[in-house]
Amino acid sequence: MSDEKMPQRPDGLGSLPRVEVEPTPVPGAGSAPASGDDAPKHAAPAGETVKHTVVKTRTKKLPVFLAALGGLVLGAVLVIALVMSGAFRITDGNVEASSSTTKNIQIDPEDTTLAETVAAKAQPSVVSITATGDSQNSGGIGSGVVLDTEGNILTNNHVIEGATALTVSMGGESYEAELVGADPSSDLAVIRLKDVDKKALAPIELGDSSELAVGEWVMAIGSPFGNEQSVSTGIVSALYRSTALPSTGGTSIYANMIQTDAAINPGNSGGALVNDRGELIGINSIIESYSGSSSGVGFAIPVNYAVNIAEQIIDGKTPVHPYLGVNLTSVNAMTARRNGLGVTEGALVVSVVDGGPAAAAGLEANDVITKIDDSPVVSADGLIIALREHNVGDKVKLTVVRGKDSKELEVELGSDEALQAENQDVSSGDAAGNSMTEEEFLRYLEELMGRGSASPLG
């Protein structure tokens, strides 16, 4: 089902060749995806050697001699000029620089570029994460952001998923880390450093992603291709981009993401997107690319949402999401004809959970949801993404087609905490695959991925 033209998470760096002058074996361990196959599609197999030839050329001796002679003459003239001007003082013992030429070099903040200032402030808060799994090809390299002096680091779930050991590189030092908790549905996770001096930690300053504007300057910081502490700059290209991608735990919902043209590549996952004040505004997570590398279309999970999930994890809570209490499938021409529906697109209610928010609002099986508030709903996953853009307790207006009639119902969204505990979250509809056969689930994913064009980073 995967296609090289489909978007992907920039993942798995263990098998990606690094450029070396001398032949170097490519390490096979420590690089596999958080979900499925995280390695770039064109990565060299483990053990492959990348060879580059260094060509040395001969130089004719006469031109070299003439050039050297000319340099000596010019140097002599320069020294004489400096002595005459007093810049150098020749004594019996040494040649000294005159005190009049000594200057204290100071950096004027007004002369420092914006990128330099932001990088100096935010880089110490961004770390590189190496996840190691049981098998030789499992694990990967990603990035993370220091949240507090307790050593809690926010990253993507697909960076650390399936890892048996976590190593964090920060400030030139390496530390072991442990998993605090994860929310695969949001593709977010928190890890914590072991035995780290609090003085070595530089928690990042948080911004407000709700105040972002298209065109605003941003910087991405992370470890693309394992190159730690790399920065790239760009702008906010768009806001409120949403998609859903299959993961080993079902489906990850990416709602209201920040789109940027700052270069984001495999290894940037979990790293920081900061504003011109060095404040965290997003967690870099997805790129849209035919090649799996930066195409200038990257996406970050907004900091307001990401930190909210992280705080729940740190507090030992189960991250909760809006819950409707229905089982859904997408409506298309085939399902419309088979079920005698009056519309050819929307989210068809297969069943309603007794006592859930949808049941309380009057939703019934075979209803087709065509709008949430004033936004059209064209598929089941479209409704799921739209729900994720709300909070537990929010009231939403659903436009429903029942038979030949259309009506509006108000629903107060519940919490999926209890269902997560039972691992039976039907609020995610078909995406969770709870009531579908394998064939139906694969068909759903094909439909989903056919529309999507994003992929997770590594």
Considering the domain architecture, whether residues 421 and 334 belong to the same structural domain is answered as yes
Number of compact structural domains in the chain: 3
Considering the domain architecture, whether residues 299 and 330 belong to the same structural domain is answered as no
pLDDT reading at 105 higher than 50: no
pLDDT reading at 268 higher than 60: yes
- Under the banding of pLDDT at 50, 70 and 90, the label for residue 455 is low
Q: Is the pLDDT higher at 277 or at 458? A: 277
Euclidean distance between CA atoms 227 and 116, whole angstroms: 18
Short-list 454, 180, 412, CA closest to 309:
180
pLDDT of amino acid 180? 97
pLDDT of amino acid 422? 65
pLDDT reading at 325 higher than 70: yes
Averaged pLDDT, 34-38? 40
Considering the domain architecture, whether residues 13 and 82 belong to the same structural domain is answered as no
Task: Give the model confidence (pLDDT) of 415-426 as tens digits.
Answer: 988 777 665 434
pLDDT of amino acid 205? 97
- Under the banding of pLDDT at 50, 70 and 90, the label for residue 108 is very low
Considering the domain architecture, whether residues 151 and 4 belong to the same structural domain is answered as yes
pLDDT of amino acid 110? 55
Considering the domain architecture, whether residues 154 and 85 belong to the same structural domain is answered as no
pLDDT of amino acid 111? 57
Active-site annotation, residues: 158, 187, 269
Report the phi/psi class of residue 47: left, alpha or beta, with left for phi > 0 and alpha for psi in -120 to 50: left
Considering the domain architecture, whether residues 7 and 89 belong to the same structural domain is answered as no
18 Cβ contact partners less than 8 Å away, ≥ 6 residues apart: 24, 26, 50, 225, 226
Euclidean distance between CA atoms 441 and 329, whole angstroms: 10
pLDDT of amino acid 46? 42
pLDDT reading at 156 higher than 50: yes
pLDDT of amino acid 139? 67
Euclidean distance between CA atoms 316 and 363, whole angstroms: 34
Averaged pLDDT, 395-404? 94
pLDDT reading at 399 higher than 50: yes
Considering the domain architecture, whether residues 176 and 287 belong to the same structural domain is answered as yes
Task: From 320, 354, 385, give the residue that closes a domain.
Answer: 320
Terminal alpha carbon distance of the chain: 20
**Residue ranges making up the domain that contains 152:** 1-56+107-320
Contact, 30 vs 55, CB < 8 A? Answer: no
Burial of 267 (0-12, 13-18, 19+ CB in 10 A): buried
Considering the domain architecture, whether residues 291 and 144 belong to the same structural domain is answered as yes
Averaged pLDDT, 14-42? 36
- DSSP-derived pairing of the beta strands 280-287 and 455-456: antiparallel
pLDDT reading at 194 higher than 50: yes
CATH code of the domain covering residue 435? 2.30.42.10
Considering the domain architecture, whether residues 173 and 296 belong to the same structural domain is answered as yes
Considering the domain architecture, whether residues 158 and 242 belong to the same structural domain is answered as yes
Q: Is the pLDDT higher at 56 or at 41? A: 41
- Under the banding of pLDDT at 50, 70 and 90, the label for residue 257 is very high
What angle separates helix 380-388 from helix 438-451, to the nearest 10 degrees? Answer: 70
Considering the domain architecture, whether residues 394 and 298 belong to the same structural domain is answered as no
pLDDT of amino acid 433? 34
Considering the domain architecture, whether residues 389 and 252 belong to the same structural domain is answered as no
- Under the banding of pLDDT at 50, 70 and 90, the label for residue 80 is very low
pLDDT reading at 100 higher than 60: no
Task: From 274, 294, 320, give the residue that closes a domain.
Answer: 320
Task: From 271, 305, 320, give the residue that closes a domain.
Answer: 320
CATH code of the domain covering residue 144? 2.40.10.120
444 Cβ contact partners less than 8 Å away, ≥ 6 residues apart: 329, 330, 380, 381, 430, 431, 433, 436
